[in-house]
Structure 1
Amino acid sequence: MGTTVLVSHPCEAVCLVSINRVERRNALDAATYQQLSNTLLKAERDDDVRVVVIAGEGAHFTAGNDLEDFFRLEGAASVPGIDFLRLLAGLSKPVIAAVEGYAIGIGTTLLLHCDLAYAGRDSTYRLPFVSLGLVPEGASTYWLPRLAGSKKASDLLLFGDAFTAEVALEVGFLTEMVERGQALKRALERAETLAALPQEALRLTKRLLLDHQREAVGQAMDVEEQAFLACCASAEAKTAFDAFLKRK
């Protein structure tokens, strides 16, 4: 198994986690999810790491789930991507996303569980679950109506059309939009600032921001996961996957 996650420390107390499947536009398979989870756990336990930044190697953040991997999910007890999102949502340290190019599917929903997100102006987002015979994940059915309102949430999740960084910023997926190619630079600047702040107060503030909704988010993830697994085993999803793979 190759290394599909790169880890570096570009500035003091900051851990940069980079998805490295450039030839697949950083699409995420089970092995990559496991590497991401292991890396985040290590960063969480490392006293020398105060802030985590997640980015993608090459031109794209991530094209989402590797659909070829989905054929192995039938009969599975859990979804690797959702296990990763649970871990991400539970980290005590600040997590910042740096987005360029595609942020599709889970590449969009994982932003809901990052504390901050900076993105290039021409980055592209999409939640194409229904068109693939699936349901949304990552507590997006909980978060999106609260961030964007029920009508906009329905528009994004039911149609699954691509949307721009401007829309992502307006909805609440992003903290700030920057010029193309500048997302990682901006994310690292802000990470360095956070890393220099009083750490106990920083983590306590993050906990206070999230604790009152943690149970509801967890319940939403659980319900979505069961529906997701049921859909993965359906003839409808298999037909949609086959059609998608033939178009590639």
Structure 2
Amino acid sequence: MVIIETFKNGVKTIKVNRPWKKNAFNMEVYKTLTTILNKDANNDKIAVTLLTAVGDYFSSGNDMSTSMQDPDIAMKAVEDMVEAFINYPKLLICIVNGTAIGIGATLVTLCDIVYASDRAVFDTPFLKLGLCVEGTSSFSYPFILGRSVASEVLFLNRKLTAQEACNYGLVSRVIPHSELDEFIKDLHKYGTLSVDNIKRNKAAIMENFKKIYSDCNKREFEVLKECINSEDFSIAVQKFLMRKSKL
């Protein structure tokens, strides 16, 4: 079971559950998250959705070993998942419990509120892997961090600590890791909020961003197709396979 779902008192909790792979997202994770969000969008028993992960990693990014088998299908699965995040009409809170790499570091910007463990690190090694920005980060990172810092993070692979991410506004609050479980339990008090009023207010906010995010998502995947056909990506894949063969 790559995703663990629980529901209690108006709060849905979604946990990525591949700790043996440092919670790398494979096709099953992408498709399951998409299905859950699209289904829960129409379930008005749910007021708040919490997204986190099991273990020491929030996500180590895309699982290259599965996505390379059929890149077109894998890209479509990621694009659909991002769209499900964009269109989710209820309150979506992300709790980054550890290191967040690649898609793990970018999809947080699609959530309404982001909290992070003091052990969290945000890492976007797209250029190093011969890939391009994803998860609408070509818009959201410059918008949140400012263009200069975002370019340093996305192009030069500057890693952000949880506190740095908080200082720049990527994260709302940093939580001591030892207190994270209790903090998540406390978030359940927001399950009593009016679902209808959450939807009204979120729709008012997202009216400013939804088209920008959706257009950005489509544009990023057009660029990603170019990247996958490039020599840079071929070299990165060869290095990945060499590292894997040594394990």
TM-score under structure 2 length normalisation: 0.92
Q: Which residue of 1 aligns with 2:221?
A: 225
Change (3 A) 1:239 1:54: same
Counterpart-to-counterpart distance in 1, 2:93 and 2:211: 22
Indicate which of 26, 32, 50 corresponds to 1:53: 50
Deviation at 1:161, TM superposition (A): 2.8
Counterpart-to-counterpart distance in 1, 2:137 and 2:240: 23
SS class of match (1:173): coil
Deviation at 1:72, TM superposition (A): 2.5
Counterpart-to-counterpart distance in 2, 1:213 and 1:188: 30
Q: Which residue of 2 aligns with 1:67?
A: 64
Q: 1:1-248 alignment to 2 at 5 Å?
A: 3-9=1-7, 11-76=8-73, 78-190=75-187, 192-247=188-243
| Paired residues of 1:118 and 1:186 also in contact (CA < 8 A) | no
Counterpart-to-counterpart distance in 1, 2:74 and 2:57: 30
Deviation at 1:63, TM superposition (A): 0.8
| Paired residues of 1:110 and 1:138 also in contact (CA < 8 A) | yes
| Paired residues of 1:18 and 1:54 also in contact (CA < 8 A) | yes
Counterpart-to-counterpart distance in 2, 1:84 and 1:184: 26
TM-score under structure 1 length normalisation: 0.92
Change (3 A) 1:96 1:185: farther
Residue identity (%): 25
Deviation at 1:182, TM superposition (A): 3.0
Change (3 A) 1:176 1:77: closer
Deviation at 1:77, TM superposition (A): 8.7
SS class of match (1:88): helix
Alignment-mate amino acid for residue 194 of structure 2: P
Q: What is the Cα-based RMSD across aligned positions, in Å?
A: 1.7
Change (3 A) 1:75 1:47: closer
Q: Deviations over 1:208-247 (max 9, x none)?
A: 1111121111111111111112212323212112213433
Counterpart-to-counterpart distance in 1, 2:104 and 2:208: 25
**Equivalent residue pairs, number:** 244
| Paired residues of 1:98 and 1:184 also in contact (CA < 8 A) | no
Q: Which runs of 5+ in 1 are unaligned?
A: none
